[in-house]
Structure 1
Amino acid sequence: MTKFLTKLTKLEQEINHPAVKRQVEEIALIDSYVQAGKPLKRAPRRLGLLPDEFEEVLVEVGPDKEGALRDLNNLLNNFRQYLSLIYGIWSLPNIQTAQLIKNKLHVQTALEIMAGNAYWSQALAQVGIKVHSTDSLEWAKTSTTGAKPFYPVEDLPADQAIKKYHTVNLVLCSWSPNFGHGDLETVAAWHKYNPSCHLLFVGEKDGATNSPEFWHQNWFKNSAALDEINHSLQSFDFINEQVFEIKNEF
């Protein structure tokens, strides 16, 4: 994975097609922002070629480049894995979404729990929200998550963090693990200590994040504000990443 960008650039030059070039340039731009510790200004455009797009490009570049095109498309589809291995992040926050969270949900203070490298905390802080970022990092001792945070992270389990910072307007959890019951315990702690604030989870329903039990609950809130926030997020790959809000009463 350390040679990910080099391989990508080499394949793009070999294929020499504008649709491919645009995507490789998008990845290079994202990587430069992440490397600098800055949130993106907007959500990335979709990466990877869908089957019909792949065939269209292949017709234009010729069958002799099919192998290179498949290799490149595989790299495009694994960009999130690259981000997790190199930077310890699974989610790409952006300033537009952070600003909408602030404005639409009237957030002045926030707590990010299970924050990992606290990339979301950095984005929220940049739009003027006072942020506390916490993580016990127990589940990530063998990974790069938390090794180089984007924002100062306090060593504190989620339930204790929610209790300690019980006056915030927002509790945010991005990419809660899809094993264990940390998400259920988070909802219970929030319901006990700060049930009037917004509780947001960033993840994929019935997929890459959160426990199956979490998704089977009838506690998800729908609102025009949340729709607008999600419209600004728009996942860049096959993972349908969204922002989910828990009802204040359920």
Structure 2
Amino acid sequence: MTKFIEKLNTINQKIDNRIVQEQVDEINKIVETVAKKQVLMQAPCRLGLYPDEIEEIAKDNDSNSVRIINNMLNSVRQFLSLKFGIWSLPNLTTAKLIKQEFKVETCVEIMAGNAYWTKALNEVGIQTIATDSLEWAKTSSTGQNQIFNVENLNAADAIKKYNKVDLILCAWSPNFGKSDLEVIDTWRKYNPQARLLFIGEKNGATNSPEFWKLTHFKKTPELAKINQSFISYDFIDEKIFEVDEL
């Protein structure tokens, strides 16, 4: 994956198609922004080609090149995880809506990884502290690529320590174990007045099966508005979920 962008641009030069060109331009913008430790203004456009688009583009181009570049367009999230240690792409529009719609001023991000969401929330005026156990960073090549300073705290201890914040945020909790359910229990005990948000894919790439089965989520106009600004750019149906107090 180290030469992903170079290969993507090389193949793009061989393919004469506006749709492909626009998507490659979008990826170059994403990578340039992340590399500078900046935040996108809005969510990326859709990446990847529909079957009818592949068929149409292949009429005037080498079909193998079209297949390869489509696979690469669909692999951007994986590339970002390997290159920068991030799975979720925040944007300032969504971050602003979280502040405006939920009326929050302070936040703690738990399981923050390299703290990209903390960076975004701070950019829009939410005083946010990033926390993580940092166990993953010991074996990951991206463990030293923090976008924002991360305090070494596991999720439960972070909730206990920062029990006066308005918002608790967790993006891409692991899809195994029970850490996400433990977060909910700790939140209810130490800071139930805070909003608790999880970012991920229901019954998919993030959070445990038990989490999706047992947890009740709020469905509000405010959250719907926020999610309208956070449309997933790939085949993963990433959304923002708010845990109900029930």
Q: Shorter-normalised TM-score: what interval?
A: over 0.9
| Native 8 Å contact 1:115 1:135 kept in 2 | yes
Match status 1:177 vs 2:186: no
Distance 1:83 1:193, change over 3 A: same
Q: Could you say if the C-alpha distance between residues 145 and 181 of structure 1 is closer, same or farther in structure 2, counting changes exceeding 3 Å?
A: farther
Q: CA deviation at 1:182?
A: 0.8
Residue by residue over 1:183-204, the C-alpha shift from the partner in whole angstroms, topping out at 9 and shown as x without a partner, is 0111111011001110000000
Q: Percent sequence identity over matched residues?
A: 54
Mapped to 1, the partners of 2:143 and 2:38 lie a distance apart of: 16
Does the Cα contact within 8 Å between 2:40 and 2:91 map onto a contact in 1? yes
Residue 176 of structure 1: CA displacement? 0.2
Q: Find the aligned partners of 2:152 and 2:125 in 1 and give their Cα distance.
A: 23
Instruction: Supply the distance in 2 between the matched residues of 1:70 and 1:153 (Cα, whole angstroms).
Output: 40
Residue 55 (1) aligns with residue 52 (2): no
Structure 2 residue 38 is matched with structure 1 residue 78: no
Alignment of 1:1-250 (within 5 A): 1-59=1-59, 61-62=60-61, 65-247=62-244, 249-250=245-246
Q: CA deviation at 1:145?
A: 4.7
SS in 2 for 1:73: helix
Q: Which runs of 5+ in 2 are unaligned?
A: none
| In structure 2, distance between residues paired with 1:178 and 1:21 | 34
SS in 2 for 1:177: coil
Asked if the contact 1:89/1:119 (under 8 Å) is kept, the reply is: yes
Q: How far, CA to CA, are the matches of 1:13 and 1:125 in structure 2?
A: 38
Q: Per the alignment, in what secondary structure is the counterpart of residue 229 of structure 2?
A: helix
TM-score where L is the length of structure 2: 0.98
Contact 2:109 2:129 survives alignment (8 Å): yes
Residues 110-143 of structure 1 show CA distances to partners (whole Å, capped at 9, x for unaligned) of 0000000000000000001101110002244322
Matched AA of 1:150: I
Contact kept, 8 Å, 1:116 with 1:145, in 2: the verdict is no
Unaligned runs of 5+ in 1: none
Query: 1:138, 1:191 → 2: CA distance?
Result: 25
In 1, distance between residues paired with 2:44 and 2:215? 31
How many residues are paired up? Answer: 246
Which portions of structure 1, spanning 4 or more consecutive aligned residues, are displaced by more than 3 angstroms?
none
RMSD over equivalenced CA pairs, Å: 1.0
In structure 2, relative to structure 1, the CA distance for the partners of 1:158 and 1:145 (3 Å cut) is farther
After TM superposition, give the deviation of residue 53 of structure 1 in Å: 1.5
Residue by residue over 1:47-93, the C-alpha shift from the partner in whole angstroms, topping out at 9 and shown as x without a partner, is: 0001111112222x24xx00000000001100100000000000000
Equivalent AA in structure 1 for residue 6 of structure 2: T
Counterpart of 1:150 in 2: which secondary structure?
Answer: coil
